[in-house]
Amino acid sequence: MKRAILSIIFALHIGAGAIADEGMWLPMLVERLNYTDMQKEGLQLTPEELYSINNSSLKDAIVNLGGGFCTGEIISDQGLMLTNHHCAYSFIQKHSSVGNDYLTNGFWAMNKEEELPNEGLFVQFLVSMEDVTPQVLSSVEGNMSEMERGNTINAAIDSLQKAAKGDTHYDIKIKPFFGGNEYYLFVYETYRDVRLVGAPPESIGKFGGDTDNWMWPRHTGDFSLFRVYMSPEGKPAEYSPENIPLKPRYHLPVSLSGVQKGDFAMIFGYPGSTNRYLTSYGIKEALEISNPTRVAIRDKRLEIMKTHMDANKTIRLQYASKYAGVSNYWKYFIGQSQGLKRLKVYDQKKALEDQFTNWVNQSEGRKAKYGNALKEIEQAYEQIEKFNQAYIYYYEAGYAPEIVKIGVKFKQLAETLSEDGPDSSKVAGLVERIGEYSDDFFKDYNKKTDRDIFIGLYDMFYENVDPQYFSSTFNALSLEDTSNFFSGFEVNETGDVKALADFVYGNTFLVDQENVESFLKNPDVEKLTSDPGYKLAIDVYDGFYNMYNKRKEAQEMRNRGRRLFIEGLRKMNPDKKYYPDANSSMRITYGTVGGYEAKDAVYYDYTTTLEGVMEKEDPDNFEFIVDPKLKALYEAKDYGRYGQEGKLIVNFLSNNDITGGNSGSPVINGKGHLIGTAFDGNWEAMSGDIAFEPDLQRTISVDIRYTLFIIDKFAGAGHLVDEMTLVTDDSSNKEPVKKKRKRKKRNNSK
């Protein structure tokens, strides 16, 4: 992402002098590694204004949602937070009903009393980070096995985290970087009262649906608004009506000036996971086993869900968020495979590995330390291949029926009932927790839909997985099986999954809320452990972990080889600027606004407009419905101060380096002003989590002016815009980060 001459050779560019806007950089290291390059691109802020422990800085306006599934940014001095619509989707869905359908109609709180609390949602602000590699690795010895090394490191991490936390209210997390060669400690402040403030209807926030997902040109208003609350004393607190809006250390000014080609653009956020150091062996495994298996299973699951959702509006609401989650990475795996093949990533990785091998063989010392790194990785994948398809089937298909999810929730209760009896206080606590879980579960559950998913996916499992890896559930489908695992079930035909589904769903209490509540009033261990739904769930659970453990030894071998490979790469190229893979820690990426050449004779411009929304309109396709009010505003060209030369920009492109977890991240210009919200990548660069392609990889963002337009002109919620600090970015108006208040230096991370 950064224009940091990063010829990170493990990515695509091995040739000398390759320039790439690439990298996900730790903010505390930006001054040393990237600042000069960022200035050349157009940054006008100081390193202290980007990241500071003692003073307010841009990092104080950035939050991770729920531990890192998305990113958000604070955009007012009253704790107003902006993120993506798809990040808020499950919370909007939970507040929706057929009679009060916020997914279809949108939601806007016209005052703070109307804002909706969200159980389970929390945000975290980064307070500080610190390199603790020497402390974590101090007791590691070279002759340790990978298991011994891991146990030693885990003990050191546990001790350091406890010492850092002390008696503070902060959350402490130590994460590995560069395959376990480095470790950093992060201090977070967590706020658990986060309320939904506004969300456009799906026809805006999800315009284009699955068809346009990962595609450019895009015309999606993918944004939503929350507000973070604190206690009256100014501290993080659980939800309470007495809480007050957060007074943030810093909030982002919002630009009304828009973007031009070549403008500087940086993104702060919490990218979830990349695999830029993946070897050719990993590419081969992804293309031949992992990706096609996941795509096939998800394809079937989506087909079944869609059939039920199209037939019933209640089921559509119940399964909307689930469908979106399955669909997103179904399409991702398809695109990733195409990108890996088209860009010949396997060949590029192999070339790098050959270069590494040549370097290693030039020194006996290198051969002693790094000589087996690639060999161990290769051997590990050979072992993993034996179990991998079964492992994926257990994960993607075995866990797909929700009867398994709710059944596993009873596992600890069954164990406690056996040990302590039904009257223990521990049982009472578990019963209460399961009761709370079941309320949410059954709100969004349909038995027939779940049963059909069971039939479709378990039939695939039975047909495609080697029988030696079958758990008792799948063995019960064989006429030769005499174990009578499901007491009372008789196989009439080998592989008759429908008959098994009829038996399980017809004889379990787990798929009916009244029956679950009745059981919880008088929990009985024998009834639970003999229930076919519970037996199914625990059997599939055990089957998955059996596959997981079979892979474990090979995974340890692979991880050791990977760690040494990454260490050797960095020593092979000591002058290169390397960045670690994403791991849900805060990163900065930087680049510029601009289009790209997708393929021969196809060039994409860097902005889309509301006119494109109207061109895509299709009243017969729910993905491309246009709201009548939006159409009226378009026809009147009533864009207010948010238009530009008679047009309204909807989305724009930049060459920033992002991945999942960056959804909702702020796109910030060289003066520190918010210009957009990142929400997607482009189809031509779907292999980007493994290998960055600077000519193709782009970030798709909502232009902040479109967001303001929807809030103000479409929703009539101008009071929210009034909260924000709106600025223009003419050349005479540099507005640096204001150091609102100095904070005492904290030593809780020492």
Q: How far apart are CA 458 and CA 452, in angstroms?
A: 10
Distance between CA 23 and CA 588 in Å, rounded? 8
- In total, the chain counts a number of residues equal to 750
CB atoms within 10 A of CB 530: 14
For residue 284, the one-letter residue type is K
Candidates 171, 193, 222, 444; catalytic one:
222
Which of 341, 342, 331 minimizes the C-alpha distance to 295? 331
Structure tokens at 168: 């503070």
Distance CA 80, CA 66 (A): 17
The contacts of residue 639 (CB under 8 Å, 6+ apart) are 610, 633, 647, 648, 709, 713
Question: 653 and 216 in contact (C-beta within 8 Å)?
Answer: yes
- Give, as one character, the DSSP assignment of residue 673: -
Give the whole-angstrom CA distance, residue 166 versus residue 727: 42
Beta carbons within 10 angstroms of residue 16's beta carbon? 7
Mapped onto helix, strand or coil, the DSSP state of residue 9 is coil
Sign, CA torsion 288/291/295/301: positive
DSSP structure string for 388-431: HHHHHHIIIIIT-SHHHHHHHTTHHHHHHHHHH-TTSHHHHHHH
Two tokens, residue 369: 């330390």
Task: Give the number of C-alpha atoms closer than 13 A to the C-alpha of residue 720, restricted to the C-beta side.
Answer: 31
Residue type at position 511: V
Whether omega for the bond prior to residue 47 falls within 30 degrees of 0, making it cis, is: no
Active site residue 418: no
Q: Are 540 and 398 in contact (CB under 8 A)?
A: yes
| 126 vs 250: CA distance, rounded Å | 12
- Both tokens assigned to 12: 């695509």
Q: Which residues contact 545 (CB under 8 A, 6 or more apart)?
A: none
Residue type for position 488: G
Determine how β-strand 254-255 pairs with β-strand 726-727.
Answer: parallel
> With the CA atoms of 345, 347, 350 and 356 taken in that order, what torsion angle do they form, in degrees rounded to the nearest 10?
-90
Distance in angstroms (rounded) separating the CA atoms of residues 401 and 545? 17
Q: Centre a 10 Å sphere on the Cβ of residue 231 and count the other Cβ atoms it contains.
A: 15
Measure the CA–CA gap between 142 and 153, rounded to whole angstroms: 13
Q: Look up 222 and say whether it is catalytic.
A: yes
Among 86, 251, 308, 673, which one carries the catalytic annotation?
A: 86
- Catalytic one among 438, 472, 663, 749? 663
Whole-number Å distance between alpha carbons of 61 and 438: 36
CB 393 within 8 Å of CB 464: yes
Q: Which region, left, alpha or beta, applies to residue 69 given φ > 0 means left and ψ of -120 to 50 means alpha?
A: alpha
The catalytic residues are: 86, 222, 663
